[in-house]
Amino acid sequence: MTTTAKEFQNHIGGKWQSAQSGKTFPNHNPATGEIIGHFPLSGKSEADAAVAAARSAFDKWRLVPAPKRGEILYRVGELLTRYKEDLARTMTREMGKVLKETRGDVQEGIDMAYYMGGEGRRLFGYTVPVELPNKSGVATRDPIGVVACITPWNFPIAIPTWKMFPALVAGNTVVIKPASDTPLSALRLVEILYEAGLPDGVVNIVFGPGGTVGEALLHHPDVAVVSFTGSTESGRHVAIEAAKSLKRVSLEMGGKNAVIVLDDADLDLAIEGILWSAYGTTGQRCTACSRVIVHSAVRKQLIEKLVPRIEQLRLGNGLDETVDVGPVINASQLDKIHSYTGIGKAEGATLVTGGSIAREGELARGHFYHPTLFADVRPDMRLAQEEIFGPTLSVIEVASIEEAIAVNNDSKFGLSSAIYTQDINRVQRAMRDITSGILYINSGTTGAEIQFPFGGNRGTGNGHREAGIAGIDVFTEWKVVYTDYSGKLQKAQIDQSEL
Ligand code: NAP
C-alpha cells in the first residue's frame, strides 16, 4: 500500500494515472505545515475519463449478484480493520483531529462495510396482493448508473464509505472527488477497495478542485446521481447545476446544532456532553454543538463549571495521545473562525474564554485556535445563526422549555439537537417539537450510529438520508414488475362497468 510515496495519482479504469497537465497540488499537515504528498491537479478531461470508465464498468457490475458485491464489502471491512491504526495516523496527519477520533472515523467505515455488505443479501423490495386473478406484482430496486461522490475533509474515510458502500452494493459504479484538503485518506480507501477484489473501473478517484473536477461531474450527462456532503453554499450550487440535467442529488450540508440544558438537568453530565460535542474534532463536525441553550436558573452555574474545563483542554498535534483538541483544517478556516470572535464582540456578546489564534511554541507552525466560549448571546446574532465550523460555542439564556425549543428550531439548519432534563414529560415534548434530523436525550449532539438514517432538515439537507436502510434509497430506482398468467387481457384499475 502507498504510504510513503510523495507523489500520488488518480485511479481511473483500474489504472493509476497522473493529471494530463502533469501538474500537482500539495497536501499539508495542518498541525505542522509539513507537506504530506502531491496529488494530481486534475480537470475536466480526467473527470470525463473517470465517468467513462465507471459507465463502462456499470454494465458488468450491475449483473454481479448483490450477495457477491456484498462479500467484497465484507473483505473491505476486514482490510479496514487490519489497517485501522495506520489509516487513523494518516488521517490525523492530513486533517488534524486527534487519534481517538480518527480511529473512530475508520471504525465508522468498518461498520458501514459490514452493514452494507449485509445489504447484499437484503436490498429489500416488496410484494403486495394484486387486484386481478392469476397475476402477481413485485417491487424491486434497480441500480441507477454512475454515482459521483463529492466529499468534505472532516470525515475523510467515514463519509466516502457512507456514500460508496450503499451505491456499490446496490450495483452502481462510482467516481469520487474527495476534498482537496484530505486526498490521501480517500486514496487509501480506494486502494483497499481494489485489494478486496473490486473489478477495475467500478470505483474511480479523481483529485482536484471542486471548481473544475467537481463541476465536470455535475454537468456530465452520464452521471446519474450526485451524492454531496459539504457546506450549504456549495450544496445549493450542486443542486442547481445538477438539476439542469435532472440528476438525482443527495445533499448533506451545514449545521448549527444546540444542546438544551433545562433547570432540572444533571449539570455535570451536560458539561461532559457539551465539551465533547463543541470542542471534539475542534468543532469541525457537521453535528458539532455551537449553541448551548440554557435555562436561566442554571445558567451561571453551568458557565462556572464549564469554563475551567474548557481552559484545561490541551491543544496540539493530534498524534500526541495527551492532546484533546487538534488544529483546524487550514489557514482560511482559521481566519474565518477568528473573524467570528470579532463579529461576536461587535454584536455585544461577552467573550468568556479563548477568542484568539494560538501561537505558543510548536502551535505557531499549525492552524490552532483557543477553544472559545461566548455568553450573553442572543438567538438572532450571527454568532448564533451562522455555521462557524470551529471551536466556538455560544451560550443563550432562556426562561422555559417552550422558549428553548423555539430557539433551537429558529435556525436555517436542522441537523442535530440535544436536551438535558430528568423529566420524562419534557423529553416527550422535545421529541415531538424539535425539528432536527437527530435528537439526543441526555447526551451531546454527536455520536450517530451507522444503522440509523443520518441527515437533517432545512439548510442541512434536501430530504435524503445517509446510512441505515434509508441510505440505499438514493442509489436505487424502484421498478415494479407485473406478471399476468391468466392468458387473457385483464385490465386493472378500470371501473367494473367497463370490464
Ligand atoms: P465544501 O467547501 O462545500 O466542500 C465539499 C466538497 O465539495 C469538496 O470536495 C469540494 O472540493 C467540493 N466542491 C467545492 N466547490 C464545488 C463545486 N463548484 N462543484 C462541485 N464540488 C465542489 O465543504 P467543506 O469545507 O469541505 O466541508 C465542511 C462543510 O461540510 C460544513 O459546512 C459541514 O457542516 C459540512 N458537513 C456536513 C455533513 C452532513 O452530513 N450534514 C457532514 C460533514 C460535513 P474542494 O475540496 O476541492 O474545494
Amino acid letter at 136? S
Residue 314 carries which DSSP code?
P
397 is catalytic: no
How is residue 415 written as a grid cell?
A: 441537523
Q: What is the pTM of this model?
A: 0.96
Catalytic residue among 94, 252, 387, 466: 252
Q: Which residue intervals of 320-464 are DSSP H helices?
A: 331-347, 382-385, 401-409, 424-433
Amino acid letter at 129? P
d(CA 451, CA 217): 29
d(CA 285, CA 280): 8
d(CA 450, CA 463): 18
Q: Which residue intervals of 120-201 are DSSP H helices?
A: 158-169, 183-195
Q: CB of 150 closer than 6 A to ligand 1?
A: yes
Domain ranges of the chain: 10-253+461-480, 257-441
> What is the number of the ligand 1 atom nearest to the C-alpha of 255?
34
- Could you tell me which residues come within 8 angstroms of residue 300 by beta carbon, excluding any fewer than 6 positions away? none
Q: What superfamily in CATH does domain 10-253+461-480 come from?
A: Aldehyde Dehydrogenase; Chain A, domain 1 (3.40.605.10)
Amino acid letter at 337? I
Residue 84 carries which DSSP code?
H
Structural contact between residues 161 and 109, judged by C-beta atoms closer than 8 angstroms:
yes
> What is the number of the ligand 1 atom nearest to the C-alpha of 233?
3
Q: CB of 151 closer than 6 A to ligand 1?
A: yes
d(CA 492, CA 132): 7
Cα 376 to ligand 1 centroid, rounded to whole Å: 31
> What is the number of the ligand 1 atom nearest to the C-alpha of 209?
47
Q: CB of 230 closer than 6 A to ligand 1?
A: yes
Q: What is the pLDDT of residue 3?
A: 45
Catalytic residue among 149, 286, 289, 397: 286
- Take atom 48 of ligand 1 and give the residue whose Cα is closest: 210
Cα 234 to ligand 1 centroid, rounded to whole Å: 6
Amino acid letter at 193? L
Q: Is the alpha carbon torsion for 298, 279, 353, 376 positive or negative?
A: negative
3-class DSSP state for residue 391?
coil
Q: Is the alpha carbon torsion for 211, 56, 249, 67 positive or negative?
A: negative
Compute how many other C-beta atoms are within 10 angstroms of the C-beta atom of residue 416: 30
Residue among 234, 282, 415 to mutate when testing ligand 1 (max atoms within 8 A of CB) = 234
Q: CB of 43 closer than 6 A to ligand 1?
A: no
252 is catalytic: yes
> What is the number of the ligand 1 atom nearest to the C-alpha of 254?
34
Q: Which residue intervals of 295-440 are DSSP H helices?
A: 299-312, 331-347, 382-385, 401-409, 424-433
Q: Which residue bears the cell 502551535? A: 363
Structural contact between residues 412 and 253, judged by C-beta atoms closer than 8 angstroms:
no
Q: CB of 374 closer than 6 A to ligand 1?
A: no
- Take atom 9 of ligand 1 and give the residue whose Cα is closest: 179
Query: Chunked in runs of 10, what are the mean pLDDT values of the chain (499 residues)?
Result: 71 97 96 96 98 98 98 98 98 98 98 98 96 97 98 98 98 98 98 98 98 98 98 97 97 97 98 98 97 98 98 98 98 98 98 97 97 98 98 98 98 98 98 98 96 97 96 98 97 72
Angle at Cα 87 formed by Cα 83 and Cα 89, nearest 5°? 125
**What CATH architecture does domain 257-441 belong to?**
3-Layer(aba) Sandwich (3.40)
Q: CB of 214 closer than 6 A to ligand 1?
A: yes
The pLDDT tens digits of the residues spanning 240-299 come to 999 999 999 999 999 999 999 999 999 999 999 999 999 999 999 999 999 999 999 999
- Take atom 32 of ligand 1 and give the residue whose Cα is closest: 231
